[in-house]
Every structure is written in C-alpha cells, then in structure tokens.
Amino acid sequence: MITDLEHIKTTIENKGVKASYQRLKIMEYLLKTKNHPTVDNIYEVMVKEIPTLSKTTVYNTMNLFVEKNIIKALSFTGVETRYDIVTQSHHHFICNQCHKIYDINTACSFMCDNHKIINGNKIEEVIGYFKGICKECINNKT
Amino acid sequence: MITDLEHIKTTIENKGVKASYQRLKIMEYLLKTKNHPTVDNIYEVMVKEIPTLSKTTVYNTMNLFVEKNIIKALSFTGVETRYDIVTQSHHHFICNQCHKIYDINTACSFMCDNHKIINGNKIEEVIGYFKGICKECINNKT
DNA sequence: ATTTATATTTGTAATGATTACAGATTTAGA
DNA sequence: TCTAAATCTGTAATCATTACAAATATAAAT
C-alpha cells in the first residue's frame, strides 16, 4: 500500500527531507486522507497518535514540505492555510454553500496562460480556484 | 474631474452607502491612486488629512464597500488584504521579484471557465492571479 | 558504548491582521 | 432645539503564524 511507512521514508528522503518520526506520521496522514487539511486539522488528529506533538512542529513540518515541493500551500477565502499533496497539477472548486473543497482534474482552461508573456510580463505561475455551488448542494435544494 | 467630491458622493450613495466624510475621503483616495492598497496604506495616508481617523474606521469602511460591491477584496500571497476599485473585470500579475502588482486588462483565457459546469459543480466565480517576473525586472537584470 | 556535535522537537511568548465592543460624536428628523 | 439612529473612535480580544530558546533525539567520532 502507498501509505507504508518505509515507502514514505524513502519518498521524502528523496526530496531531501530527513525522515523523523513526526514527519513520517504527518506525511502518512496527508497521503491517507486526501483532504486539504489545515494545521489545526492535522494537529487534532495526530496528537492522538503522538501525545507529545507540538503544533509548532506541524507548522515547521508543513513549511519544510512546501519548501521541498512535497506539498502545496493553498489559501482560499478563509484565513487559515490549507495543504495539498503535490501529485499531478489540478485545480480546486469551493462550494459557497457547504464550503466543501473539490479537486478538479477535468481538463479546463484554467492554466492555459501559464508560461505565456502578457504585457511584457513573464508568467511563471497561475494561482487560483473556482467558487460556486456544488453538485450536492444543487440537488439538495429543498 | 472624476475625483470631485460631489460626484463621489452620488456615486457611493447610488450603491446604498451613506456618504460620511471619512467614507468620501477614503473613496476619493481609492479613485485617485489606482494602487491596490492595504488598510495600513490607506490609514497612513488618510490620517494626515483626517487626524482623528481610526484604523477601525478604515476596516469598517472597506468591509462596507466590499459588501456593497464598490470595491473588491484581493488576497495575494501576503497576509494583508488588498483592495481594488470595481471597474471592469480585470486580472492581476504580481512580480515575484519586486512584488509590484500590475493590472492585466489584456484579453486572456483566465476567466473563460466562468459560469460553466464542471463535474456537475456550477462555477460562479473564478478567483486567481498570475505570478512571475515583470517587464521591468526582466530588463533590469544586471 | 560514550562523548560530542548537529538536527529536531517542544512550549511559550511575540507578532500582526482583523474583529468585537462600548462609549463618544456626528447626522438627520421631528 | 431635542431626540434617535448612524457613524466613528480607541482599546481589548482573537486567531493564525512565527520567533526563540531550552529540551530531546539522532548521527558521527573516538
């Protein structure tokens, strides 16, 4: 299985990150639940497995993972940063009603301006997401 | 002139906002400088003209203007919210080097997924911006 | 294995943007 | 002018995140 600890160890070490116990377990969590968790989300779950865990460690770990390109930091309307495992490029859809976050893997034109030059400015990254009403909420309208 | 106070008064009152002195002056500032100022930016400048001005008033005013669709709140990588007068739909480009913010009015595919349905989810809004190296920084590379 | 150096973790305190709130002031209407 | 409602102001609270220094764990060297 993909969430095997040994496998995770080599995975993050290949990215140049030493595999401490907390880093391994946090990575395991990120791989298992493909949510887009906040630091608080992660801390609340992991502190049950690692009672000595500090929230600072979660922050440090997330910052390190972002730096090493293992995860991506997402900032939607809310205040808190959310994190996403870097797999293949995909987009996000946030429901204005239930606030659920959906991954969008369907081809769409969102990234088509990537690496273009507009007004002389060289675009390196297109950052963004979709907002609207999700399928479930459309059906559930009473 | 567009920044004439009487004209601004009718403009924001048409949007359902009572035109107090501080609101008028703040609106005047937003129209005059087409920056994308933070609350701090606005406060620092306006407190010189209105010495009794409170930062809370700036926050309140910005929130009111956003609610009434007079301005738009933008959140780029940084922490602080930036504000932009709602004129015609346009995008933004942020330089990774000098951190300047450029308006992009050129036609681009950025918004072309607006109002589409993807995976059954109804898209109402496409939120995003471009990052890269701006024209100036490209030329200034020593 | 023991010592030593280095990296990681932890807890607390600090920061910084934003909001809550309550009292003071201004505005509008009678 | 008097009164009620809206607005403004200043301070305190909140909340996510970072700074920092002490404690712990890991790795290297003897």
Q: State yes or no: pLDDT of B87 exceeds 80.
A: no
Measured CA to C1', the nucleotide nearest B54 is D9
Nearest residue, CA→C1' of C25: B52
Residues A50 and A19 in one domain: yes
Q: What would the pLDDT profile of B88-112 be if each residue is shown by its tens digit? A: 778 899 999 998 999 988 766 666 6
Q: What is the pTM of this model?
A: 0.89
Count of the separate structural domains present in chain A: 2
Residues B75 and B97 in one domain: no
Exposure class string for A94-114: b at 16+ Cβ within 10 A, else e? bbeeeeebbebeeebebbebe
Residues A15 and A57 in one domain: yes
Phi, psi dihedrals of residue A12, rounded to the nearest 5°: -80, -25
The residue out of A46, A70, A85 marking a domain boundary is A85
Type and span of the H or E element at A72 = strand A71-74
Q: State the residue range of the domain holding A118.
A: 91-139
Confidence band (pLDDT; 50, 70, 90) for B79? confident
Residues B70 and B103 in one domain: no
Residues A38 and A11 in one domain: yes
- Arithmetic mean of pLDDT over chain A: 91
Distance from CA of B133 to the nearest CA of A (A): 5
Residues A109 and A132 in one domain: yes
Q: What would the pLDDT profile of A67-115 be if each residue is shown by its tens digit? A: 999 999 999 877 899 999 987 778 899 999 998 999 988 766 666 667 7
Task: Report the C-alpha gap between B128 and A113 in whole angstroms.
Answer: 12
Residues B44 and B62 in one domain: yes
Q: What was the pLDDT predicted at A89?
A: 74
- Tell me the CATH number at A72: 1.10.10.10
Tokens at B104, concatenated: 């992009």
The residue out of A57, A85, A113 marking a domain boundary is A85
Q: State yes or no: pLDDT of A21 exceeds 80.
A: yes
Q: Residues whose CB falls within 7 A of nucleic chain D?
A: A 18, 20-21, 38-40, 55-56, 59, 63, 79-81; B 17-18, 20-23, 50, 52-57, 60-61
Q: How many CB pairs under 8 A join A and B?
A: 111
> Which segment of A14-23, A39-48, A102-111, B118-127 scores lowest on mean pLDDT?
A102-111
The residues with which A127 forms a beta bridge, in sequence order, are B129
Distance from CA of B98 to the nearest CA of A (A): 12
- Arithmetic mean of pLDDT over chain B: 90
Residues B21 and B59 in one domain: yes
Residues B69, B14 contacting (CB under 8 angstroms): no
Task: Report the C-alpha gap between A127 and B129 in whole angstroms.
Answer: 5
Ramachandran category for residue A99: left, alpha or beta (phi over 0 → left; psi -120 to 50 → alpha):
left
Residues B55 and B108 in one domain: no
Residues B15 and B80 in one domain: yes
Residues B73 and B107 in one domain: no
